[in-house]
Amino acid sequence: MRTIVITGASDGIGAEMARQLAALEGTANGGPGVNLVLAARNAAQLEAVAAECATLGAQTMIVPTDVSIQIQCRRLVISAVERFGGLDVLVNNAGRSAHALFEEVEDLSWYEELMRVNLWGAVWCTQAALPHLKDSKGSIVAVSSLAGLVGVPGRTAYSATKFALTGFFEALRAELKGAGVSVTTAYPGVVATRIRYRGFNAQGEAMGTSALKEEGAMSVEECARLIIEGMNARRREVVMTAKGKIGRFMKLLAPGLVEKMALAALKQDVRPPQ
């Protein structure tokens, strides 16, 4: 029976991964059982997700955690190991979005805050979890973004955090090869969650509205399914859309063209009220 820690499990992709893992491995459907450790800041929402997973026969534990605070990341891993005796998978999924032109931003302090959530939270959780993952020859998942493969105009802060995450886990994957710990980096495109409504605007406040076109977004169910599939197959990467796969190679062959496409996409963005 695996013990799986998921950060950002109170909503969106993380919550859906928890539900799908419970459905796949929980005892209610004849699975082997699974221990799910759910982390995020909102305890009430974590409780609700845990209750859904428990009905599917998963053992659950919630650990209210702000991943932008190192000690809370450590406490998350310690709590999981104390309760379940080890750790098999760490899913670094917690993240926040941001949408602003760099020139519109006066106070850059929220750029640092975003880096603490999207990069440092994953680094801190991974450092705490690593000895246990080596013991179990387990797996790490990092949920990056297509914005972590191609710099997206209007998203300097977000792209910077996701490129950093991508680079950190690419290097770590090679370092951990001998130890038998797999590292899977997922690159979702636009997925139908509330992330864009909660992201920072130029003033460092919650957007309250999405600055992207939401129609055509991948469903959260499909996104979670693809990440779980990649994680279980111990794949290096999960690049989710055809656009992402093509864009990545185009960037090497014709970077100017990719830049033009990105700028054209920016012009189509639904701009929030200024």
Ligand X SMILES: NC(=O)c1ccc[n+]([C@@H]2O[C@H](COP(=O)([O-])OP(=O)(O)OC[C@H]3O[C@@H](n4cnc5c(N)ncnc54)[C@H](OP(=O)(O)O)[C@@H]3O)[C@@H](O)[C@H]2O)c1
Which stretches of the chain bind ligand X, using CB under 6 A? 7-14, 40-42, 45, 65-68, 93-96, 117, 143, 145, 188, 190-191, 193-195, 198
CB of 135 to ligand X, least distance (A): 25
Which residue lies nearer to ligand X by CB, 33 or 272?
272
Which residue lies nearer to ligand X by CB, 94 or 133?
94
CB of 68 to ligand X, least distance (A): 5
Which residue lies nearer to ligand X by CB, 20 or 45?
45
Find the helix packing angle between 156-175 and 121-136, rounded to 10°. Answer: 20
Which residue lies nearer to ligand X by CB, 49 or 176?
49
264 three-class SS: helix
CB of 148 to ligand X, least distance (A): 8
Rounded to whole angstroms, how far apart are CA atoms 264 and 98?
Answer: 19
Find the helix packing angle between 220-232 and 12-25, rounded to 10°. Answer: 60
Rounded to whole angstroms, how far apart are CA atoms 237 and 187?
Answer: 8
In angstroms and rounded to an integer, the radius of gyration of the C-alpha atoms of the chain is 18
CB of 140 to ligand X, least distance (A): 14
Encoded tokens for 190: 């636009």
Which residues have C-beta within 8 Å of that of residue 205, sequence separation ≥ 6? Answer: none
Encoded tokens for 26: 């929980």
| Choice among 111, 158, 187, 197 that is catalytic | 158
Give the DSSP per-residue string, 67-105. TTSHHHHHHHHHHHHHHHS--SEEEE-----B-B-GGG-
197 included as an active-site residue: no
- What positions carry a catalytic annotation? 158
